[in-house]
């Protein structure tokens, strides 16, 4: 009995963790390139979820598979991400980290309230995307869409890691934060790479939205800030700016959440934040982060 | 006094003016460099040497005047496109990518143009055996001299027509300075035009064909390296004689 | 010199009393008719918001560090004062005495929390410090959700001790102390640390001590603000003090001007009145707010008032000088 409870927790934790990991990836990529906490990133998921809410019925009516809606969601999210970057973040980039932080906070408030004005404060139910059965192994129930979520998460992580390590654009994305002038001199258009990073990070938020909705099919205008915060913790825990760190951090936060909920339901957030504090004090660069020391 | 360049100029700056936070940093700067020349630009700290190089490569904006490289007006080109014209810049303080390996750093040198990369990489390793030994090491862990070599090597990867070198001797031991200057000379002998900015006037003049002296934002003296070495003003101010 | 300072204190005291007299005159004359209580409430809100925002500015503006967890200290003050006033009810203390004891308890509790959080957290700087302060505030919130003494989800039945005159004068005293603090030798040291902490520690300043102290003082006043809040609202839930509230306080500091207490006072007052004035457009309120915030960042990154401080003495000086110029001409 205890063992099956544990396995069940493990599966749910991994499911939750894979979603956080994907969101954390967006935070990590943006922080990695411009050293800015993009507080609005969580809200990109909300945008992705609303897009799914409106496009899934369209897809179904047109006789196409429901998951195709995610392509539209990716495009919408990437577009919003790029717009936010160009209109709000780029102009304040030289003004220092305080301005960047406040602008990001403001964009988050803006998107949440814009969504409330446009879609109302009532939650919407997203139509199911995958109709997958639940398999029972002993007393453990194993919804196959959870497995799918974990698999998609892993696949995207590996894909991103490959992209950043092996492709020309990926290398440029790594080069820019290391030395902007040197990047320009070897022919990298720094502004374009930053915009591209935002597009990819925000596009991934749409995938995260898909995965989230397949587990919890509810959309609200403030869903992004809650999840965003946890995913952000995940990114910092694993080592912000490091892609495998986002994966590790996400899964860690997911597991902590599910297991603490089993024993002390009211305290899971405190434990998550507590872990974050301990890690930051012991190793500010996160578990997998390289210790470079904060540049002043 | 003015020296005729032997061939058509590769780089020509005319009446170049640079503003820095409302102040004139460089004023009426004129410079002409012919093909395969090695030209020195010397002068005291704060004279505007680095600012000039940064303006030529588009990292700073020119307030007035023109910069023409190989028939292209550089003031109208985005800085990231400069390298595609085969003009490379090795900035002051080395500016390598510290968290990439030596090999990756060299590879970044061909970011704008991947053709023929493999061959060039072997050429660079042949010129800098020490980089070859450390090709899998992170660039940030190299010594100062090795980082300078890497920066030069990365510039060479793009097969440039011309290299701008900013203070290559900075922070290096005399032995390493000699080594770097030998490399610059070799690079030049291979047919690459070099503009060498240096505070170490003696070293710079010893390898240059011609040189300019930049003082408080304007060219005060120009001539062949031999002429400058005999110039009493240069002797007094820069050669310590 | 001493005489000049005394005169300027006197001038400021007269100015503040005038504002108070005008406001309470308006209230007692019943100019606002049936909405008098309502407007009085808005003014009370403005008073405690001013204290919270100004106290946050001590950390953000004068120490130059982010804090995204100010609401945590506000909540510690709010709950501690509510518990104390609850325990002391019916012990024969007059209302005013009870109010002041509760305030002090709230401030001290928050100050102690400031020390406890500050010692580990202030080893970090920049973004990382911001994250850690946020994490601490969230932990505090979760604790209040779970402790029996804070009533679990809701704490209600708190005495309504925060009247407008009390809130106003507490605000005046708090802001004056913060102003003196910034002008003191201690305040100068803090600014020296902000400008260059390596140079500061090289010249023998115990950087950690000064930082933790400033953090604690900031938390103390946040706690006092929270105490007024608790005894004005009379009921509260821990979720009131979430990340969004911290972010709101921080953005008010930024809009007013980092490093300008005048900016904090005017900014906080304006931003507490504005939402009420815009009640009919409530849905668009936060939208407009975020747009304003972005615009301020784009065009006045230092905030509306920057480092500028209002001074009645200077203003009077200017007016009298202009008059004397006129006479001369």
C130 to A273: CB separation less than 8 angstroms, yes or no: no
The fold of B9-95+145-238 is Rossmann fold (3.40.50)
Which one has a higher pLDDT value, A272 or C21?
A: A272
Give the residue among B125, A179, B162 at the shortest CA–CA distance from B117: B125
Fill in the DSSP letter of residue C236: B
CB of B111 within 8 Å of a chain A CB? The answer is yes
Give the residue among C189, C221, C192, C186 at the shortest CA–CA distance from C67: C221
Domain extent, residue C217, equals: 2-322
Residue B80 has pLDDT above 80, yes or no: yes
Extract the tokens encoding C53. Answer: 């925002």
Task: Assess if residue C263 is contained within a domain.
Answer: yes
> Which residues, in sequence order, are bridge partners of residue A124?
A219
CA A72 to chain C, closest CA, distance in angstroms equals 26
Contacts of B172 (CB under 8 A, 6+ apart): B144, B145, B148, B180
- The pLDDT assigned to C230 comes to 94
pLDDT-derived band at B48, boundaries 50, 70, 90? confident
Extract the tokens encoding B144. Answer: 């100062």
Fill in the DSSP letter of residue C59: I
Burial label, C4 (beta-carbon count in 10 A; 0-12, 13-18, 19+): exposed
Residue in A102, A118, A120, A272 to test binding to C, most C beta-carbons within 10 Å: A102
Extract the tokens encoding B216. Answer: 């408080």
pLDDT-derived band at C108, boundaries 50, 70, 90? very high
Over residues C127-135, the mean pLDDT reads 89
Between the two ends of chain B, the Cα-to-Cα distance in Å is: 22
Task: Assess if residue C74 is contained within a domain.
Answer: yes
Which residues on C lie below 8 Å from A117 (Cβ)? 283-284, 287
The fold of A2-282 is ABC transporter involved in vitamin B12 uptake, BtuC (1.10.3470)
Q: What is the pLDDT of residues B86-106, one digit of tens each?
A: 999 999 887 899 989 999 999
Which residues on A lie below 8 Å from B89 (Cβ)? 185
Task: Assess if residue C328 is contained within a domain.
Answer: no
CA A46 to chain C, closest CA, distance in angstroms equals 16
Below-70 pLDDT ranges, chain A: 1, 291-296
Nearest to A187 among B97, B100, B112 (CB): B112
Residue in A33, A165, A175, A185 to test binding to B, most B beta-carbons within 10 Å: A185
Nearest to A107 among C123, C135, C294 (CB): C294
> Which residues, in sequence order, are bridge partners of residue A139?
none
Nearest to C128 among A92, A273, A284 (CB): A284
Task: Assess if residue C137 is contained within a domain.
Answer: yes
> Among all residues of chain B, which has the CA nearest to that of A184?
B80
- The pLDDT assigned to C300 comes to 77
> What total of structural domains would you count in chain C?
1
Burial label, B129 (beta-carbon count in 10 A; 0-12, 13-18, 19+): exposed
CA A189 to chain B, closest CA, distance in angstroms equals 5
Over residues B155-170, the mean pLDDT reads 92
Give the residue among A57, A155, A225 at the shortest CA–CA distance from C245: A225
- The pLDDT assigned to B7 comes to 61
Fill in the DSSP letter of residue A158: H
B91 to A182: CB separation less than 8 angstroms, yes or no: yes
Q: What is the pLDDT of residues C113-128, one digit of tens each?
A: 999 999 999 888 888 8
- DSSP H or E run through A174: helix A168-178
Average pLDDT, whole number, for chain B? Answer: 88
CA A129 to chain C, closest CA, distance in angstroms equals 32
Give the residue among A147, A118, A130, A150 at the shortest CA–CA distance from A50: A118
Nearest to A186 among B78, B83, B114 (CB): B83
Fill in the DSSP letter of residue C35: G
Burial label, A127 (beta-carbon count in 10 A; 0-12, 13-18, 19+): middle
A178 to B97: CB separation less than 8 angstroms, yes or no: yes
Query: What distance in Å separates the CA atoms of residue A272 and residue A268, rounded to the nearest whole number?
Result: 6
Over residues C266-292, the mean pLDDT reads 78
pLDDT-derived band at C152, boundaries 50, 70, 90? low
Burial label, C321 (beta-carbon count in 10 A; 0-12, 13-18, 19+): exposed
Place of tokens 């304006």: C270
> Which residues, in sequence order, are bridge partners of residue A134?
A143
Nearest to B112 among A174, A181, A186 (CB): A186
Task: Assess if residue C329 is contained within a domain.
Answer: no
Give the residue among A11, A17, A75, A6 at the shortest CA–CA distance from A211: A17
Query: What distance in Å separates the CA atoms of residue C106 and residue C228, rounded to the nearest whole number?
Result: 9
- For C118-145, letters b (16+ CB in 10 Å) and e give beebbebbbbbbbbbbbbbbbbbbbbbb
**SS3 of A253-280:** HHHHHHHHHHHCHHHHHHHHHHHHHHHH
Residue C329 has pLDDT above 60, yes or no: no
CA C287 to chain A, closest CA, distance in angstroms equals 5
Q: Which of B141-150, C18-27, C179-188 has the lowest mean pLDDT?
A: C18-27
Contacts of C96 (CB under 8 A, 6+ apart): C166
Pairing of strands A218-219, A140-143: unpaired
CB of B97 within 8 Å of a chain A CB? The answer is yes
C125 to A117: CB separation less than 8 angstroms, yes or no: no
Extract the tokens encoding A251. Answer: 């899964």
- The pLDDT assigned to C323 comes to 56
CB of A251 within 8 Å of a chain C CB? The answer is no
CA B90 to chain A, closest CA, distance in angstroms equals 9
CA C87 to chain A, closest CA, distance in angstroms equals 27
Are C176 and C261 in contact by the 8 Å Cβ rule? The answer is: no
Residue C60 has pLDDT above 50, yes or no: yes
Give the residue among A126, A130, A115 at the shortest CA–CA distance from A53: A126
Question: DSSP secondary structure string, chain B?
Answer: -PPPPSS-EEEEEEEEEEEETTEEEEEEEEEEEETT-EEEEE--TTSSHHHHHHHHTTSS--SEEEEEETTEEGGGS-GGGGGGGTEEEE-TT----TTSBHHHHHHHTTTT--TTHHHHHHHHHHH-HHHHHTTTSBGGGS-HHHHHHHHHHHHHHT--SEEEEE-TTTT--HHHHHHHHHHHHHHHHTT-EEEEEES-HHHHHHH-SEEEEEETTEEEEEEEHHHHHH-HHHHHHHS--
A276 to C146: CB separation less than 8 angstroms, yes or no: no
> Among all residues of chain C, which has the CA nearest to that of A106?
C290
Give Cα B201 distance to the centre of its chain.
14
Which chains are within 8 Å of B by 3+ CB pairs?
A
Which one has a higher pLDDT value, C293 or B116?
A: C293
- DSSP H or E run through A141: strand A140-143
Extract the tokens encoding C84. Answer: 């104390």
Extract the tokens encoding B118. Answer: 């493999």
- DSSP H or E run through C50: helix C36-57
Which residues on B lie below 8 Å from A190 (Cβ)? 80
C283 to A117: CB separation less than 8 angstroms, yes or no: yes
A178 to B109: CB separation less than 8 angstroms, yes or no: no
Q: What are phi and psi of A216, to 5 degrees?
A: -125, 95
Contacts of A216 (CB under 8 A, 6+ apart): none
Query: What distance in Å separates the CA atoms of residue A178 and residue A185, rounded to the nearest whole number?
Result: 13
Pairing of strands B162-166, B87-90: parallel
Give the residue among A82, A49, A62, A66 at the shortest CA–CA distance from A210: A49
B99 to A174: CB separation less than 8 angstroms, yes or no: yes
CA A179 to chain B, closest CA, distance in angstroms equals 6
Query: What distance in Å separates the CA atoms of residue C115 and residue C108, rounded to the nearest whole number?
Result: 11
Interfacial A residues in 62-121 facing C (CB < 8 Å): 88, 91-92, 95-99, 101-103, 105-107, 109-110, 112-114, 116-117
Residue B126 has pLDDT above 80, yes or no: yes
CB of B109 within 8 Å of a chain A CB? The answer is yes
Average pLDDT, whole number, for chain C? Answer: 85
Over residues C31-60, the mean pLDDT reads 88
Burial label, B103 (beta-carbon count in 10 A; 0-12, 13-18, 19+): middle
The residue count for chain B: 241
B104 to A171: CB separation less than 8 angstroms, yes or no: yes
ipTM value for the complex: 0.87
Query: What distance in Å separates the CA atoms of residue A286 and residue A173, rounded to the nearest whole number?
Result: 21
pLDDT-derived band at B116, boundaries 50, 70, 90? low
- The pLDDT assigned to C158 comes to 84
Q: What is the pLDDT of residues C93-105, one digit of tens each?
A: 888 899 999 999 9
- The CA dihedral of C44, C45, C51, C57, to the nearest 10 degrees, is -150
CB of A181 within 8 Å of a chain C CB? The answer is no
Residue C284: strand, helix, or coil: helix
Query: What distance in Å separates the CA atoms of residue A15 and residue A148, rounded to the nearest whole number?
Result: 9
B96 to A179: CB separation less than 8 angstroms, yes or no: yes
Query: What distance in Å separates the CA atoms of residue A39 and residue C134, rounded to the nearest whole number?
Result: 13
Over residues B160-174, the mean pLDDT reads 90
Q: What proportion of chain B, given as a percentage, has pLDDT over 90?
A: 54
Residues of C with CB under 8 A from a CB of A: 60, 66, 120-121, 123-128, 130-132, 135-136, 138-139, 142-143, 145-146, 243-244, 247, 250-251, 254, 258, 283-284, 286-287, 289-291, 293-294, 297-298, 301
Q: Which of A142-151, B164-173, C149-158 has the lowest mean pLDDT?
A: C149-158
B81 to A187: CB separation less than 8 angstroms, yes or no: yes
Nearest to A184 among B80, B100, B113 (CB): B80
- The pLDDT assigned to B163 comes to 95
């Amino acid at each position: 009995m205890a063992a099956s409870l544990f396995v069940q927790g493990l599966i749910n934790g991994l499911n939750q963790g894979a979603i956080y990991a994907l969101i954390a990836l967006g935070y990590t990529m943006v922080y990695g390139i411009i050293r800015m906490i993009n507080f609005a990133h969580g809200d990109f998921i909300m945008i992705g979820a609303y897009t799914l809410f409106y496009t899934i019925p369209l897809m179904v009516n047109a006789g196409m598979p429901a998951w195709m809606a995610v392509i539209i969601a990716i495009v919408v999210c990437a577009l919003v991400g790029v717009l936010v970057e160009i209109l709000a973040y780029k102009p304040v980039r030289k003004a220092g980290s305080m301005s960047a932080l406040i602008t990001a906070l403001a964009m988050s408030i803006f998107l949440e309230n814009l969504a409330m004005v446009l879609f109302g404060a009532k939650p919407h139910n997203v139509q199911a995307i995958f109709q997958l059965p639940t398999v029972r192994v002993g007393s453990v129930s194993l919804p196959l869409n959870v497995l799918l979520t974990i698999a998609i998460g892993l696949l995207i992580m590996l894909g991103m890691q490959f992209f950043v390590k092996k492709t020309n654009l990926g290398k440029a994305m790594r080069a820019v934060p290391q030395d902007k002038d040197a990047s320009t001199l070897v022919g990298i258009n720094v502004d374009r790479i930053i915009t591209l990073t935002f597009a990819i990070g925000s596009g991934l938020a749409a995938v995260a939205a898909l995965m989230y909705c397949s587990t919890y099919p509810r959309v609200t205008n403030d869903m992004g800030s809650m999840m965003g915060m946890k995913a952000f913790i995940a990114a910092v825990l694993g080592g912000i700016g490091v892609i495998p760190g986002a994966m590790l951090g996400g899964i860690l936060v997911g597991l902590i959440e599910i297991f603490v909920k089993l024993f002390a339901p009211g305290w899971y957030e405190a434990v998550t934040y507590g872990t974050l504090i301990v890690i930051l004090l012991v190793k500010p660069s996160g578990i997998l982060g390289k210790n470079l020391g904060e540049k002043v | 006094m003015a020296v005729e360049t032997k061939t058509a100029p590769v780089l020509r700056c005319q009446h170049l003016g640079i503003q820095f936070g409302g102040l004139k940093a460089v004023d009426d700067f004129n410079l002409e460099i012919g093909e395969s020349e090695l030209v020195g630009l010397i002068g005291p700290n704060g004279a505007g040497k680095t600012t000039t190089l940064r303006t030529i490569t588009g990292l700073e904006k020119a307030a007035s005047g023109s910069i023409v490289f190989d028939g292209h007006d550089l003031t109208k080109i985005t800085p990231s496109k400069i390298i595609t014209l085969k003009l490379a810049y090795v900035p002051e303080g080395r500016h390598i990518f510290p968290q990439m390996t030596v090999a990756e750093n060299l590879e970044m040198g061909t970011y704008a143009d991947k053709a023929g990369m493999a061959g060039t990489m072997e050429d660079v390793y042949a010129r800098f055996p020490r980089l070859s030994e450390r090709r899998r090491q992170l660039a940030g862990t190299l010594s100062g001299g090795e980082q300078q070599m890497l920066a030069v090597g990365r510039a060479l990867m793009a097969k440039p027509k011309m290299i701008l070198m900013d203070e290559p001797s900075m922070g290096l031991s005399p032995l390493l300075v000699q080594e770097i200057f030998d490399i610059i000379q070799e690079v030049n002998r291979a047919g690459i035009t070099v503009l060498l900015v240096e505070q170490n006037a003696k070293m710079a003049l010893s390898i240059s064909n011609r040189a300019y002296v930049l003082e408080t934002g304007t060219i005060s003296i120009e001539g062949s390296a031999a002429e400058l070495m005999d110039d009493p003003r240069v002797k007094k101010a820069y050669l310590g004689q | 010199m001493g005489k000049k300072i005394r005169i300027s204190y006197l001038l400021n005291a007269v100015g503040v009393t005038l504002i108070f007299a005008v406001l309470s005159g308006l209230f007692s004359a019943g100019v606002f008719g049936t909405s008098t209580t309502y407007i009085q409430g808005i003014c009370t809100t403005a008073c405690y918001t001013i204290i919270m925002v100004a106290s946050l500015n001590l950390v953000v503006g004068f120490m130059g560090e982010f804090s995204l967890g100010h609401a945590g200290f506000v909540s510690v003050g709010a709950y501690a004062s509510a518990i104390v006033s609850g325990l002391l009810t019916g012990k024969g203390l007059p209302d005013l005495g009870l109010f002041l004891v509760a305030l002090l308890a709230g401030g001290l509790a928050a100050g102690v929390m400031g020390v406890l959080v500050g010692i580990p957290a202030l080893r970090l700087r920049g973004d990382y410090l911001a994250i850690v302060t946020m994490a601490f505030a969230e932990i505090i919130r979760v604790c209040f959700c779970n402790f029996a003494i804070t009533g679990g989800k809701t704490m209600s039945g708190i005495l309504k001790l925060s009247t407008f005159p009390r809130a106003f004068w507490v605000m005046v005293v708090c802001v004056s102390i913060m102003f003196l603090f910034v002008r003191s030798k201690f305040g100068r040291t803090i600014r020296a640390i902000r400008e260059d902490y390596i140079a500061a520690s090289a010249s023998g300043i115990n950087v950690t001590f000064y930082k933790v102290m400033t953090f604690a003082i900031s938390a103390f006043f946040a706690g006092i603000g929270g105490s007024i809040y608790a005894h004005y609202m009379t009921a509260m839930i821990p979720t009131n003090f979430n990340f969004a509230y911290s972010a709101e306080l921080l953005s008010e500091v930024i809009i007013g001007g980092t490093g300008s207490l005048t900016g904090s006072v005017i900014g906080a007052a304006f931003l507490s009145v504005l939402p009420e004035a815009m009640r009919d457009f409530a849905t668009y309120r936060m939208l407009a707010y975020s747009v304003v915030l972005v615009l301020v960042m784009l065009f006045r990154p230092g905030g509306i008032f920057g480092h500028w401080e209002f001074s009645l003495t200077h203003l009077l000086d200017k007016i009298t000088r202009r008059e004397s110029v006129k006479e001369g001409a």
